[in-house]
Amino acid sequence: MRAYIFAVIFILYLRIVGWTSRVRYIGEESIPARPFVYIFWHRHIFFVSYSHRARAIRVLLSTSKDGDIAALTNKWLGHRVIRGTASSPREGARSIVQMMGCLRRGHVVAMVPDGPRGPRLKAKKGAAYISDKLDCPLVPIAWAAKRKTELRSWDRTVIPFPFNDIVVVEGKPLYLKGFRNMEEAQREITDRLNEVNSLAESRLEEK
């Protein structure tokens, strides 16, 4: 019941933000053909669920209580949810296999490289492993808003206010096949996500 109540509140709030705000999308013309993986920092997950709604994206979410809320919210926004957790090697491996299966069937999937519990703004192995094994591109996403707040959570989740100016940026596809090692690939993901975030902030200042 708790998850249901919070999910309803989140959906209503996101719709109010979307209806009352100017939302600009930048970089959509560079999206590759399916399949590919959307990646974004955990702190941006709240609005990305809404900005990319109704696209039947396969979204990897944790099995925590907060993940229960996110799962309901994403389902109601038109996504398909895959549950998994990095705290359990078996569950983590199972979720990676599920994501790879979705990609092999031609679907778009979404992952947060620093989820579910950090370290904040530092990519872990999951997205890099999938991209390398399937030679599948990663598409980084970031958004910025003129009026927002940050929660006191580990990831400093960003919440946009209604009646806002919001910019959503999709970066150029990142291909990791051929990187010398996993650590190098993880650094590249981290750098690209931070670059896209900086671009969203700078484009926000444009009229």
DSSP letter, residue 172? P
Q: What is the pLDDT of residue 87?
A: 61
We report the CATH number of the domain holding residue 13 as 3.40.1010.10
Give Dmax (Cα) for the chain: 49
Q: Give all strands (DSSP E) within the chain, no chain letters.
A: 22-26, 37-39, 58-61, 80-83, 109-111, 138-145, 148-150, 158-160, 165-170
What is the number of structural domains in the chain? 1
Look at the pTM and tell me if it is higher than 0.85.
yes
Q: What is the pLDDT of residue 90?
A: 75
The one-digit pLDDT tens for each residue of the chain (207 residues) are 888 999 999 999 999 999 999 999 999 888 888 899 999 999 999 999 999 998 889 998 888 888 899 999 999 999 999 887 666 667 778 888 999 999 999 999 999 999 778 899 999 988 999 999 999 999 999 999 999 999 999 999 999 999 999 999 999 999 987 777 889 999 999 999 999 999 999 999 886
- Domain extent, residue 60, equals 2-204
Instruction: Report the distance separating Cα 108 and Cα 138, nearest Å.
Output: 10
How far is C-alpha 192 from the chain's CA centre? 14
Prior bond of 116 cis (ω within 30°): yes
